């Protein structure tokens, strides 16, 4: 089953009279349960493509389908609903709310989606257990290491049980040990839950965990390979 389908997507940015083509006719399908890396040098278009999939930006031309729904036809509120219920996000700089505890950060998407207190508690504790942070549930982000903050971010992304998680340079601000731990947790949760993961990276540590590697250059996909024994 296709979770993501990109059809002839272009994205042109205009700054005054200057135009920059970030994507130049991209076609891509991502199947349910894949663990896919988008790679390429700075300016290749990988982050722009991730933003298209995440309903954070819209193509100049072409279509983006998430779970067979054409999100390019949705209005701003409908795209926000799609992000809140279907897509989880893990950012390079963690993006945790600094005044909230780890527990409360993971709980936030569930509050926004109207879950009951009982449902929220069960889900949050399940996820904190999954990322090995139950003992840090009451700590604020400034009381956590970078690796711990990113693990909270992974738990938060999975809280509403999305079908798709997008991660933009998820290990860029982590040392080798913490980067490895975060990737191993994401990979394990991908296998256990079946959630599709797509991540943009230039980090070889991250690429080595991928089952599929999609290479972009100058706004085009130049290579698409299954790895780790997958065909």
Could you write out the three-class secondary structure of 69-111? Answer: EEHHHCCHHHHHHHHHHHEEEECCCCCCCCCCCHHHHHHHHHH
Give pTM, 2 decimals.
Answer: 0.92
> How do residues 97-131 score in pLDDT, each as one tens digit?
999 999 999 999 999 888 999 999 999 999 999 99
Task: Return the ∠ at Cα 199 (arms to 193 and 202), rounded to 5°.
Answer: 145
Average pLDDT over residues 62-66: 96
Three-class HEC string of 156-188: HHHCCCCCEEEEECCCCCCCHHHHHHHHHHHHH
Q: Using one digit for the tens of pLDDT, what is the confidence trace for 122-157? A: 999 999 999 999 999 999 999 999 999 999 999 999
Checking if the pLDDT of 39 tops 50, the result is yes
Instruction: Give me the chain's average pLDDT, please.
Output: 92
8 Å CB contact between 37 and 8: no
* Local confidence band at 231 (pLDDT 50, 70, 90 cut-offs): very low
Domains in the chain with CATH codes: 2-226 (3.40.50.300)
Split at pLDDT 50, 70, 90, the class of 205 is confident
pLDDT digit string (tens) for 84-95?
889 999 988 889
The pLDDT value recorded for residue 203 is 83
- Nearest-angstrom CA–CA distance, 110 and 16: 41
């Amino acid at each position: 089953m296709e979770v993501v389908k990109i059809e002839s997507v272009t994205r042109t940015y205009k700054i005054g009279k200057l135009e920059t083509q970030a994507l130049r006719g991209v076609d891509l399908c991502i199947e349910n349960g894949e663990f896919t890396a988008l790679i390429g040098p700075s300016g290749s278009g990988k982050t722009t493509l991730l933003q298209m999939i995440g309903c954070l930006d819209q193509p100049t031309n072409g279509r983006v389908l998430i779970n067979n729904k054409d999100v390019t036809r949705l209005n701003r509120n409908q795209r926000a609903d799609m992000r809140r219920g279907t897509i989880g996000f893990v950012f390079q700089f963690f993006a945790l709310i600094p005044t909230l505890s780890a527990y409360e950060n993971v709980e936030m998407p569930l509050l926004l989606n109207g879950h009951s207190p009982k449902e929220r508690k069960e889900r949050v504790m399940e996820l904190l257990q999954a990322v090995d942070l139950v003992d840090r549930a009451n700590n604020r982000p400034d009381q956590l290491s970078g690796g711990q903050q990113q693990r909270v971010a992974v738990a938060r992304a999975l809280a509403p049980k999305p079908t798709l998680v997008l991660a933009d340079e998820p290990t860029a601000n982590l040392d080798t040990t913490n980067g490895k731990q975060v990737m191993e947790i994401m990979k394990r949760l991908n296998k256990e839950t079946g959630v599709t993961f797509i991540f943009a990276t230039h980090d070889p540590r991250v690429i080595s965990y991928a089952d599929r590697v999609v290479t972009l250059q100058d706004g085009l996909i130049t290579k698409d390979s299954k790895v780790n024994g997958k065909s």
